[in-house]
Structure 1
Amino acid sequence: MNMVQALNSALDVMLNRDENVLIFGEDVGYFGGVFRVTEGLQEKYGLKRCFDAPLTEGGIIGAAIGMGAYGLRPVPEIQFADYILPAYDQLVSEAARLRYRSNGEFWAPITVRTPYGGGIFGGQTHSQSPEAIFAHVTGLKVAIASNPYDAKGLLIASVESNDPVVFLEPKRLYNGPFYGRAEEELKTWAKSGHAGADVPLGHYTVPLGRAALVREGTEATVLAYGTMVHVAEAGIADSGIDAELIDLRSIVPLDIDAITASVRKTGRCVILHEASRFGGFGGELSALVQERCFDSLRAPIARVCGYDMPYPHAFEWDYFPGPVRLSEALKATVEYR
């Protein structure tokens, strides 16, 4: 399966497994979603289990919170992560706090699916990477898959969670490792990150908060998630550095034990994410690594990120941190004296 098929399979499994699961959002019903993730689900499960919603993100998430408190497990879709901001107050002030405010009487077991990141020339309002603003909110979980197998397992785990989850789906990975225009730098890409992967048809989970060791190494640790895992593989191959690659898979909860074990072993750390550098989640990762691994570090922690600028529509492939930039950062980190 590719990632679209894997996500569709996860939703199919959960709709069939739990009658309290339902899906709604803009164009997710009859149309099957802009990226076809929900294709065929309305036909299979009916209008009450998979249905369209008005173009009102705050209303979609507000309704989902009420459904969750009532005992359902809604999976609302926000068509693009950029459009989630009208619903931010519902997520922060209601969903994230409901269990605490009600002393456990009410929960918000909702999974908010949304495509995020660039790569399809969607422009400034269809391409941003806002994961850091959700990671900051106590009470929200944030998951970001890098491959079809993890996408299905993480989505099922999210739907089964009793806490609200923001499930970010990298658009560049929907139909292959680099959905959209091919990047020139990917000529150096290692043979990995295939368009499809072996994905079981039935139920399985990938636990939130458990990182994956993608590549073992001894000279440096690279921390990445989503699309950047594949960029990291390419950059490591190009650099000739024996780097260890950790796919975080979820940034809240964060597998800090896996991170610190790797950095203590290698003594160096490079953090890679698509979002802009200033205020990005890489800053939090850097602080956590420094606090826990200071005595093991042999070089400053490096960050390879998007540039601090409004998202550039026509120049998005120049904006993205690519394999060459990661390769240069790795070499500089290893050569640091």
Structure 2
Amino acid sequence: MSRQLTIIQAIKEALDQKMAEDQRVMLLGEDIGVNGGVFRATEGLLEKYGSARVVDTPLAESGIVGSAIGLALNGMIPVVEIQFLAFIYPGFEQIVSHAARMRFRTRGQFHVPLVIRTPYGAGIRGPELHSESVESFFVHTPGLKVVVPSNPYDAKGMLISAIEDPDPVIFLEPTRTYRAFKEEVPEEMYRVPLGKARVIQEGNDLSIFAWGAMLRVAMNAAKQIEQEKGWSCEVIDLRSLYPLDRDTIIQSVQKTGRACVVHEAHKTMGVGAEIISLINDEALMYLKAPVKRITGFDVPVPQFTIEDSYLPTEQRIKEGIVETILF
């Protein structure tokens, strides 16, 4: 049985169902108990599961993540909520020095089954530290999985998969899409595998790779280009930034011969650069034009009055598509 849910509702349902199924699953974060989280992703779970499993923490990200690592090493499955991605910086050392390295450090004797959930990205009229998209920090760290659902169905299925994964997962939630739309989501538990992209729309003239909030923007641009120019774009939601679904990326480029990568993170050393490198390594002879990046700029996310000028827009994506196809 399916219902229409938002992304935030799908996330809450995944947490609820896994907590009901497995007594080891517990939640930690600032204001997640009484207040139900800054975006209400954990609303009602304190009353249902108690303060021993839904833990309101101090404002201390290093302590939150460090405590969660200790819990994971001792048989629990902690799910941490960080209020905004850029708030994670005080806990960054715990993630990259300990959570990500524990399996390697102990030669596989210990695992860290930890999920760190955090909203990320601009478009909500928040200050700079509430709007950053710095996924490349974590993608560059061996030992971490990094995933980004773009819709309610994937949000529930990927979160369940992340909670069941034996290793740490950074679970990035695009803030601007939390309540932007609804989608059919099965009531029962299901899993969306980590590391597998999804072809949203088939096409022949150009491949578009996007994730998170940029997926819907890219889809709208692709539809407009088809109406205006008659070109068909293959749109792929990467969903998993590490591990990347290399096969789907290469197969698409081999089919279309052209590609654009869309992300709101800063351009320099972003995930888009790695995708281009992968294409150059494994599909260079299929390319009819250089791969185009449509991204945020190499500046801090600006204040809300000019925020829209920072983010990739449908118009910028369309211009990138035209430039690539007419190269």
TM-score, L = length of structure 2: 0.96
Instruction: Check if 1:221 corresponds to 2:207.
Output: yes
The one-letter code sitting in structure 2 at the alignment partner of 1:296 is: Y
1:49 positional shift: 1.0
TM-superposed CA distance for 1:200, in Å, is 1.1
Aligned counterpart in structure 2 of residue 204 of structure 1, from 169, 190, 199: 190
SS at match of 1:274: strand
Greater CA drift, 312-321 or 295-304 = 312-321
One of 119, 126, 129 as aligned partner of 2:123: 119
Give 1:112 shift.
Answer: 0.1
- Which aligned pairs between 1:178-189 and structure 2 lie closer than 5 A? none
- Among 129, 149, 156, which residue is 2:153 paired with? 149
> SS of the counterpart of 2:26?
strand
Equivalence for 2:295: 305
CA distance in 2, matches of 1:14, 1:119: 31
Q: Do the aligned partners of 1:24 and 1:52 also contact (CA within 8 Å) in 2?
A: yes
Letter in 2 for 1:291: D
Alignment of 1:2-17 (within 5 A): 2-17=6-21
Q: Report the Cα offset of residue 318 of structure 1.
A: 1.2
Aligned match of 1:328: 319
Stretches of structure 1 lacking an aligned partner (at least 5 in a row): 177-194
Q: Matches of 1:101 and 1:75 in 2, distance apart?
A: 22
How far apart are 1:250 and its partner, in Å? 0.8
Task: Name the counterpart of 2:110.
Answer: 106
Mapped partners of 1:15, 1:155: distance in 2:
12
Deviation for aligned residue 1:121: 1.1
Is it true that 1:280 corresponds to 2:270 in the alignment? yes
CA distance in 2, matches of 1:293, 1:269: 11
Which residue of 163, 176, 194 corresponds with 1:172? 176
Post-superposition offset of 1:128: 0.2
Give, in whole Å, the separation in 2 of the partners of 1:33 and 1:197: 22
Matching of residue 55 in structure 1 with residue 62 in structure 2: no
Task: Count residues in correspondence.
Answer: 318
Shift of 1:259: 0.5
**Unaligned residue ranges in structure 2 (runs of 5+):** none
Q: Does 1:76 align with 2:80?
A: yes
SS at match of 1:48: coil
Shift of 1:33: 0.4
What secondary structure, in the 3-state scheme, does the structure 2 residue paired with 1:198 have? strand
Q: Is the 8 A contact 2:122 2:301 kept in 1?
A: no
Residue in structure 2 matched with residue 188 of structure 1 by the alignment: none
Aligned-partner SS, 2:207: strand
Distance 1:120 1:221 in 2: 28
Aligned to 1:18: 22
Give secondary structure in 2 for the equivalent of 1:125.
helix
Equivalent residue letter for 1:94 = H
SS of alignment partner, residue 35 of structure 1: coil
Cα shift readout 1:37-85 (whole Å, capped 9, x = no counterpart): 0011111111111120000001000001000000110001111101101
SS at match of 1:59: helix
Which amino acid in the other structure matches residue 326 of structure 1?
Answer: I
- Aligned Cα root-mean-square deviation (Å): 0.7
Q: Which runs of 4+ in 1 moved over 4 A?
A: none
- From 228, 246, 251, the equivalent of 2:241 is 251
Q: Deviations over 1:92-130 (max 9, x none)?
A: 110001011111221110000001001111111100001
Q: Matches of 1:125 and 1:251 in 2, distance apart?
A: 22
Task: Choose 95-104 or 234-243, whichever is displaced more.
Answer: 234-243
Q: Could you tell me how far 1:279 is from its partner in structure 2?
A: 1.5
Amino acid at match of 1:209: G
Q: Deviations over 1:230-276 (max 9, x none)?
A: 01011112222200001001101110000000000000010000111
C-alpha separation in 1, matches of 2:279 and 2:155:
26
Q: Tell me the amino acid that sits aligned with residue 122 of structure 2.
A: G
* Kept in 2: contact 1:239–1:328 (CA 8 A): no
Q: Distance in 1 between matches of 2:222 and 2:256?
A: 14
Deviations 1:110-166 (A, max 9, x none): 000001001111111100001000000000000100000000001000000001000
Aligned-residue sequence identity (percent) comes to 46
Instruction: Determine the structure 1 residue equivalent to 2:136.
Output: 132
Q: How big is the shift at 1:315?
A: 1.0
Residue of structure 2 in register with 1:318 after alignment: 309
